[in-house]
Amino acid sequence: MYKDIATPTRTKEILDKYGFSFKKSLGQNFLIDPNILHRIVDFAEISERSGVIEIGPGIGALTEHLARRAKKVVAFEIDQRLLPILEDTLSPYSNVSVIHQDILKADVGKVISEEFTDVEEVMIVANLPYYVTTPIIMKLLTDRLPIRGMVVMLQKEVADRMAAKPGTKDYGSLTIAVQYYTNAETVMNVPRTVFIPKPNVDSAIIRLTKLDQPAVPVKDESFFFTVVRASFGQRRKTILNNLISQLPNGKERKGQIEKALQQANIDPQRRGETLTIAEFASLSDCLYDIFQ
Protein backbone atom coordinates (compact mmCIF):
# COMPACT_ATOMS: atom_id res chain seq x y z
CA MET A 1 0.00 0.00 0.00
CA TYR A 2 1.36 3.42 -0.93
CA LYS A 3 1.49 6.39 1.41
CA ASP A 4 -1.76 8.41 1.18
CA ILE A 5 -1.71 11.49 -1.02
CA ALA A 6 -4.14 13.17 1.37
CA THR A 7 -1.76 13.82 4.26
CA PRO A 8 -0.58 17.39 4.82
CA THR A 9 3.08 16.39 4.28
CA ARG A 10 2.63 14.34 1.12
CA THR A 11 0.25 16.91 -0.41
CA LYS A 12 2.75 19.68 0.28
CA GLU A 13 5.56 17.59 -1.24
CA ILE A 14 3.52 17.05 -4.42
CA LEU A 15 2.49 20.71 -4.69
CA ASP A 16 6.11 21.83 -4.18
CA LYS A 17 7.51 19.30 -6.64
CA TYR A 18 5.29 20.67 -9.40
CA GLY A 19 5.19 24.31 -8.24
CA PHE A 20 1.39 24.05 -8.25
CA SER A 21 -0.63 27.11 -7.22
CA PHE A 22 -4.33 26.82 -6.39
CA LYS A 23 -6.89 28.44 -8.66
CA LYS A 24 -9.72 29.77 -6.54
CA SER A 25 -11.82 30.23 -9.68
CA LEU A 26 -11.78 26.43 -10.18
CA GLY A 27 -12.88 25.69 -6.61
CA GLN A 28 -9.56 24.03 -5.76
CA ASN A 29 -9.68 23.00 -2.10
CA PHE A 30 -7.85 19.71 -1.70
CA LEU A 31 -8.59 17.18 1.04
CA ILE A 32 -5.76 16.45 3.47
CA ASP A 33 -7.45 14.00 5.83
CA PRO A 34 -7.48 10.29 4.88
CA ASN A 35 -10.23 9.58 7.44
CA ILE A 36 -12.69 11.74 5.53
CA LEU A 37 -11.76 9.91 2.33
CA HIS A 38 -12.45 6.54 3.94
CA ARG A 39 -15.82 7.83 5.07
CA ILE A 40 -16.73 9.08 1.58
CA VAL A 41 -15.86 5.72 -0.01
CA ASP A 42 -17.78 3.90 2.76
CA PHE A 43 -20.86 6.08 2.33
CA ALA A 44 -20.76 5.31 -1.40
CA GLU A 45 -20.50 1.55 -0.65
CA ILE A 46 -17.89 1.10 -3.34
CA SER A 47 -16.80 -2.49 -4.03
CA GLU A 48 -14.89 -4.43 -6.68
CA ARG A 49 -18.18 -4.61 -8.60
CA SER A 50 -18.43 -0.80 -8.86
CA GLY A 51 -17.44 1.60 -11.57
CA VAL A 52 -16.90 5.16 -10.31
CA ILE A 53 -17.09 8.51 -12.05
CA GLU A 54 -15.16 11.15 -10.14
CA ILE A 55 -15.42 14.87 -10.80
CA GLY A 56 -12.32 16.97 -10.17
CA PRO A 57 -9.60 14.55 -8.96
CA GLY A 58 -7.21 17.42 -8.07
CA ILE A 59 -3.93 15.68 -7.23
CA GLY A 60 -5.69 12.32 -6.77
CA ALA A 61 -6.44 12.30 -3.02
CA LEU A 62 -9.91 10.77 -3.34
CA THR A 63 -9.15 9.02 -6.63
CA GLU A 64 -6.62 6.66 -5.07
CA HIS A 65 -9.03 5.63 -2.31
CA LEU A 66 -11.66 4.93 -4.95
CA ALA A 67 -9.15 3.01 -7.07
CA ARG A 68 -8.26 0.77 -4.12
CA ARG A 69 -11.88 -0.30 -3.69
CA ALA A 70 -13.57 -0.03 -7.11
CA LYS A 71 -13.19 -2.06 -10.26
CA LYS A 72 -12.59 1.06 -12.31
CA VAL A 73 -12.48 4.84 -11.86
CA VAL A 74 -12.92 7.47 -14.56
CA ALA A 75 -12.14 11.01 -13.39
CA PHE A 76 -12.96 14.27 -15.19
CA GLU A 77 -10.52 17.13 -14.51
CA ILE A 78 -10.79 20.58 -16.11
CA ASP A 79 -7.35 21.92 -15.09
CA GLN A 80 -4.68 20.85 -17.57
CA ARG A 81 -1.89 21.62 -15.05
CA LEU A 82 -3.09 18.70 -12.92
CA LEU A 83 -2.74 16.07 -15.66
CA PRO A 84 1.03 15.40 -15.33
CA ILE A 85 0.67 15.42 -11.54
CA LEU A 86 -2.14 12.85 -11.68
CA GLU A 87 -0.12 10.70 -14.06
CA ASP A 88 2.59 10.61 -11.41
CA THR A 89 0.49 10.25 -8.24
CA LEU A 90 -1.91 7.68 -9.72
CA SER A 91 0.78 5.60 -11.47
CA PRO A 92 0.38 2.73 -8.95
CA TYR A 93 -3.28 2.28 -9.99
CA SER A 94 -3.96 0.63 -13.34
CA ASN A 95 -7.76 0.92 -13.02
CA VAL A 96 -7.97 4.73 -13.26
CA SER A 97 -8.34 6.91 -16.32
CA VAL A 98 -8.40 10.69 -16.29
CA ILE A 99 -10.33 12.66 -18.89
CA HIS A 100 -9.31 16.28 -19.40
CA GLN A 101 -12.75 17.87 -19.74
CA ASP A 102 -15.23 20.22 -18.12
CA ILE A 103 -17.82 17.88 -16.57
CA LEU A 104 -20.57 20.30 -17.61
CA LYS A 105 -19.67 19.68 -21.26
CA ALA A 106 -19.08 15.95 -20.98
CA ASP A 107 -21.26 13.19 -22.41
CA VAL A 108 -21.13 11.16 -19.20
CA GLY A 109 -23.69 8.62 -20.47
CA LYS A 110 -21.42 7.78 -23.39
CA VAL A 111 -18.39 7.44 -21.12
CA ILE A 112 -20.36 5.10 -18.83
CA SER A 113 -21.49 2.90 -21.73
CA GLU A 114 -17.99 2.74 -23.21
CA GLU A 115 -15.84 2.48 -20.08
CA PHE A 116 -17.99 0.49 -17.69
CA THR A 117 -18.91 -2.60 -19.70
CA ASP A 118 -17.64 -4.96 -17.00
CA VAL A 119 -19.06 -3.45 -13.80
CA GLU A 120 -22.33 -4.21 -12.04
CA GLU A 121 -23.14 -0.66 -10.99
CA VAL A 122 -21.93 2.90 -11.35
CA MET A 123 -21.58 5.56 -8.64
CA ILE A 124 -20.59 9.20 -8.91
CA VAL A 125 -18.26 10.28 -6.12
CA ALA A 126 -16.60 13.69 -5.73
CA ASN A 127 -15.33 16.50 -3.61
CA LEU A 128 -17.03 19.04 -5.83
CA PRO A 129 -15.70 22.42 -6.93
CA TYR A 130 -18.03 24.68 -4.92
CA TYR A 131 -18.48 27.39 -7.57
CA VAL A 132 -20.51 24.96 -9.74
CA THR A 133 -21.99 22.43 -7.32
CA THR A 134 -25.63 22.89 -8.25
CA PRO A 135 -25.18 22.96 -12.07
CA ILE A 136 -23.03 19.81 -11.88
CA ILE A 137 -25.53 17.89 -9.74
CA MET A 138 -28.51 19.04 -11.82
CA LYS A 139 -26.76 18.09 -15.07
CA LEU A 140 -25.94 14.61 -13.76
CA LEU A 141 -29.52 14.10 -12.53
CA THR A 142 -31.28 15.38 -15.64
CA ASP A 143 -28.95 13.36 -17.90
CA ARG A 144 -30.76 10.32 -16.44
CA LEU A 145 -27.56 8.33 -16.15
CA PRO A 146 -27.60 4.60 -15.40
CA ILE A 147 -26.11 5.13 -11.92
CA ARG A 148 -26.96 3.88 -8.42
CA GLY A 149 -26.41 7.35 -7.06
CA MET A 150 -23.91 9.96 -5.95
CA VAL A 151 -21.93 10.68 -2.81
CA VAL A 152 -20.47 14.16 -2.95
CA MET A 153 -18.90 16.76 -0.71
CA LEU A 154 -20.34 20.24 -1.12
CA GLN A 155 -21.17 23.42 0.82
CA LYS A 156 -23.21 22.53 3.91
CA GLU A 157 -25.74 25.21 3.06
CA VAL A 158 -26.42 23.60 -0.36
CA ALA A 159 -26.56 20.09 1.16
CA ASP A 160 -29.13 21.37 3.67
CA ARG A 161 -31.27 22.71 0.83
CA MET A 162 -31.06 19.47 -1.15
CA ALA A 163 -32.04 17.27 1.81
CA ALA A 164 -34.63 19.69 3.31
CA LYS A 165 -38.10 18.73 4.55
CA PRO A 166 -41.28 20.70 3.72
CA GLY A 167 -42.00 23.63 6.03
CA THR A 168 -38.35 24.42 6.76
CA LYS A 169 -36.40 27.49 5.68
CA ASP A 170 -34.10 25.41 3.46
CA TYR A 171 -36.95 23.82 1.50
CA GLY A 172 -37.16 25.28 -2.01
CA SER A 173 -37.06 24.56 -5.72
CA LEU A 174 -33.59 22.95 -5.44
CA THR A 175 -35.00 20.53 -2.84
CA ILE A 176 -37.81 19.50 -5.17
CA ALA A 177 -35.48 19.21 -8.18
CA VAL A 178 -33.14 16.86 -6.28
CA GLN A 179 -35.83 14.88 -4.46
CA TYR A 180 -37.78 14.35 -7.68
CA TYR A 181 -34.92 12.09 -8.85
CA THR A 182 -33.30 10.87 -5.61
CA ASN A 183 -33.52 10.08 -1.94
CA ALA A 184 -31.27 12.79 -0.44
CA GLU A 185 -29.50 12.47 2.92
CA THR A 186 -26.77 14.58 4.50
CA VAL A 187 -24.55 11.87 5.93
CA MET A 188 -21.77 13.93 7.53
CA ASN A 189 -20.77 17.50 8.30
CA VAL A 190 -17.14 18.27 7.55
CA PRO A 191 -14.98 20.99 9.16
CA ARG A 192 -12.98 23.49 7.09
CA THR A 193 -9.70 22.25 8.59
CA VAL A 194 -9.53 19.13 6.38
CA PHE A 195 -8.83 21.13 3.21
CA ILE A 196 -6.00 23.20 1.84
CA PRO A 197 -6.56 26.01 1.25
CA LYS A 198 -9.36 26.24 3.85
CA PRO A 199 -12.66 27.12 2.15
CA ASN A 200 -14.63 29.97 3.68
CA VAL A 201 -17.79 27.89 4.09
CA ASP A 202 -18.65 24.73 6.02
CA SER A 203 -18.97 21.48 4.10
CA ALA A 204 -21.08 18.35 4.19
CA ILE A 205 -21.23 14.98 2.47
CA ILE A 206 -24.54 14.23 0.82
CA ARG A 207 -25.75 10.86 -0.47
CA LEU A 208 -28.22 10.93 -3.35
CA THR A 209 -29.71 7.51 -4.08
CA LYS A 210 -31.43 7.45 -7.44
CA LEU A 211 -35.10 6.48 -7.34
CA ASP A 212 -36.29 3.78 -9.78
CA GLN A 213 -38.99 6.20 -10.95
CA PRO A 214 -39.27 9.95 -10.31
CA ALA A 215 -40.74 10.54 -6.83
CA VAL A 216 -44.13 11.51 -8.30
CA PRO A 217 -45.76 10.98 -11.70
CA VAL A 218 -46.54 14.25 -13.53
CA LYS A 219 -48.25 15.04 -16.83
CA ASP A 220 -45.39 17.27 -17.99
CA GLU A 221 -42.02 17.43 -16.26
CA SER A 222 -40.90 20.78 -17.52
CA PHE A 223 -44.23 22.37 -16.57
CA PHE A 224 -44.01 20.75 -13.12
CA PHE A 225 -40.66 22.50 -12.54
CA THR A 226 -42.08 25.78 -13.88
CA VAL A 227 -44.88 25.56 -11.28
CA VAL A 228 -42.40 24.69 -8.52
CA ARG A 229 -40.14 27.66 -9.36
CA ALA A 230 -43.14 29.98 -9.61
CA SER A 231 -44.45 28.82 -6.23
CA PHE A 232 -41.17 29.77 -4.54
CA GLY A 233 -40.89 33.06 -6.48
CA GLN A 234 -41.12 35.24 -3.36
CA ARG A 235 -41.07 33.36 -0.12
CA ARG A 236 -43.21 35.82 1.82
CA LYS A 237 -46.05 35.56 -0.69
CA THR A 238 -48.88 33.04 -0.65
CA ILE A 239 -48.86 30.32 -3.27
CA LEU A 240 -51.79 32.00 -5.03
CA ASN A 241 -49.98 35.34 -5.32
CA ASN A 242 -46.76 33.72 -6.46
CA LEU A 243 -48.53 31.73 -9.18
CA ILE A 244 -50.40 34.85 -10.36
CA SER A 245 -47.24 36.92 -10.57
CA GLN A 246 -44.84 34.25 -11.84
CA LEU A 247 -46.77 32.10 -14.31
CA PRO A 248 -47.21 33.37 -17.89
CA ASN A 249 -50.38 35.53 -18.12
CA GLY A 250 -51.00 34.68 -14.47
CA LYS A 251 -52.94 37.88 -13.79
CA GLU A 252 -55.51 37.16 -16.51
CA ARG A 253 -55.80 33.58 -15.32
CA LYS A 254 -56.36 34.32 -11.65
CA GLY A 255 -59.75 32.57 -11.60
CA GLN A 256 -58.37 29.47 -13.29
CA ILE A 257 -55.39 29.33 -10.92
CA GLU A 258 -57.77 29.51 -7.96
CA LYS A 259 -59.80 26.69 -9.47
CA ALA A 260 -56.70 24.52 -9.98
CA LEU A 261 -55.66 25.10 -6.34
CA GLN A 262 -59.13 24.07 -5.24
CA GLN A 263 -59.06 20.95 -7.45
CA ALA A 264 -55.67 20.02 -5.99
CA ASN A 265 -57.08 20.61 -2.49
CA ILE A 266 -54.49 23.27 -1.65
CA ASP A 267 -55.42 26.33 0.42
CA PRO A 268 -54.49 29.39 -1.72
CA GLN A 269 -53.21 31.14 1.41
CA ARG A 270 -50.49 28.54 2.04
CA ARG A 271 -46.87 29.30 1.18
CA GLY A 272 -44.91 27.28 -1.38
CA GLU A 273 -42.52 25.96 1.24
CA THR A 274 -45.31 24.02 2.97
CA LEU A 275 -46.28 21.92 -0.05
CA THR A 276 -45.03 18.34 -0.34
CA ILE A 277 -43.65 17.11 -3.64
CA ALA A 278 -46.90 15.12 -4.15
CA GLU A 279 -48.94 18.30 -3.67
CA PHE A 280 -46.78 20.13 -6.22
CA ALA A 281 -47.39 17.25 -8.66
CA SER A 282 -51.14 17.37 -8.23
CA LEU A 283 -51.18 21.19 -8.51
CA SER A 284 -49.05 21.17 -11.64
CA ASP A 285 -51.30 18.52 -13.26
CA CYS A 286 -54.40 20.62 -12.50
CA LEU A 287 -52.73 23.78 -13.86
CA TYR A 288 -51.33 21.99 -16.90
CA ASP A 289 -54.70 21.63 -18.62
CA ILE A 290 -55.42 25.35 -18.10
CA PHE A 291 -52.09 26.53 -19.45
CA GLN A 292 -52.11 24.37 -22.61
Q: Candidates 72-80, 159-167, 232-240, 280-288 — which segment interacts with ligand SAM by CB under 6 A?
A: 72-80
Rounded Cα gap, residues 77 and 102, in angstroms: 7
Q: Does 132 bind ligand SAM (CB under 6 A)?
A: yes
Q: Does 224 bind ligand SAM (CB under 6 A)?
A: no
Q: Does 55 bind ligand SAM (CB under 6 A)?
A: yes
Closest residue to ligand SAM: CB criterion: 56
Amino acid letter, residue 227? V
Question: From the annotation, which residues make up the binding site?
Answer: 29, 31, 56, 77, 102, 127
Q: Which residues pair with residue 73 across a beta bridge?
A: 52, 96
Give, as ranges, the residues between 3 and 32 that touch ligand SAM (CB under 6 A).
26-31
Q: Does 129 bind ligand SAM (CB under 6 A)?
A: yes
Question: From the annotation, which residues make up the binding site for S-adenosyl-L-methionine?
Answer: 29, 31, 56, 77, 102, 127
Rounded Cα gap, residues 10 and 16, in angstroms: 10
Radius of gyration of the chain (CA): 22
Rounded Cα gap, residues 176 and 236, in angstroms: 19
- If the CB atoms of residues 78 and 174 are measured against ligand SAM, the closer one turns out to be 78
Rounded Cα gap, residues 164 and 172, in angstroms: 8
Q: Candidates 42-50, 66-74, 96-104, 230-238 — which segment interacts with ligand SAM by CB under 6 A?
A: 96-104
> Least Å distance between CB 9 and ligand SAM?
15
Contacts of 93 (CB under 8 A, 6+ apart): 63, 64, 67, 68, 73
Q: Does 89 bind ligand SAM (CB under 6 A)?
A: no
Judged by CB under 6 A, the residue of 56, 172, 250, 272 near ligand SAM is 56
Q: Does 61 bind ligand SAM (CB under 6 A)?
A: yes
Q: What distance, in Å, lies between the first and last C-alpha atoms of the chain?
A: 62
Q: Does 76 bind ligand SAM (CB under 6 A)?
A: yes
Q: Which residues pair with residue 182 across a beta bridge?
A: 210
- If the CB atoms of residues 102 and 289 are measured against ligand SAM, the closer one turns out to be 102
- If the CB atoms of residues 99 and 277 are measured against ligand SAM, the closer one turns out to be 99
Rounded Cα gap, residues 109 and 97, in angstroms: 16
Contacts of 94 (CB under 8 A, 6+ apart): none
In the 8-state DSSP scheme, what is residue 268? T
Q: Does 182 bind ligand SAM (CB under 6 A)?
A: no
Among candidate residues 206, 200, 202, the one with its CA nearest the CA of residue 191: 202
Q: Does 78 bind ligand SAM (CB under 6 A)?
A: yes
Q: Is 167 left (phi over 0), alpha (psi -120 to 50) or beta?
A: left
Q: Candidates 74-82, 159-167, 182-190, 248-256 — which segment interacts with ligand SAM by CB under 6 A?
A: 74-82
Using CB under 6 A as the criterion, which residues of the chain lie in contact with ligand SAM when the complex forms? 26-31, 55-58, 61-62, 76-79, 82, 102-104, 127, 129, 132
